[in-house]
Amino acid sequence: MNRRMMKSKIHRARVTDAHLDYVGSISLDPELMGLADILVGEQVHVVDIDNGARFETYAIEGRPGDVCLNGAAARLVHPGDKVIIITYGEYNEHEVQSYEPRVVHVDEANIPVSEDVARKLAGGPMAVEQARPVRGSSVQ
């Protein structure tokens, strides 16, 4: 039996733009794509934390800092919204035993940060005091 599991996610990214007059997709920062193991053309699930919208599209490479929704999905988000971008993979029973998803946390400018910094930025009950940003060390 295979199980569909979260392969990776970019957590609490800030939408930088929305272009309605475009064929479709989500333009992502190439560094974030690499850290989250997202390929050009790969299907992604986008969850808007601010308005609850959930939809699927595919990833294309954007510019540094980009999290831009294109085409019809541009109607579901607004610049400044926080989103979670999720990918999934199929794993067999043997693979699922050692499987670990990649989680990329980002700050307000979509720069990768450690999980501790992300918790502090979110201001939730799990916030950590005196955490410091660490570029490129957010994959867990």
Task: Assess if residue 130 is contained within a domain.
Answer: no
Report DSSP state, residue 15: P
Task: Assess if residue 98 is contained within a domain.
Answer: yes
Supply the pLDDT for residue 124. 60
Query: Which positions are catalytic?
Result: 25, 58
Supply the pLDDT for residue 139. 44
CA distance 91 to 121: 33
Look at the chain and report how many structural domains it folds into. 1
Task: Assess if residue 101 is contained within a domain.
Answer: yes
Q: Is 71 exposed, middle or buried (0-12, 13-18, 19+ CB in 10 A)?
A: middle
Q: Which residues of the chain have pLDDT under 50?
A: 127-140
Supply the pLDDT for residue 125. 55
Task: State the residue range of the domain holding 72.
Answer: 2-122
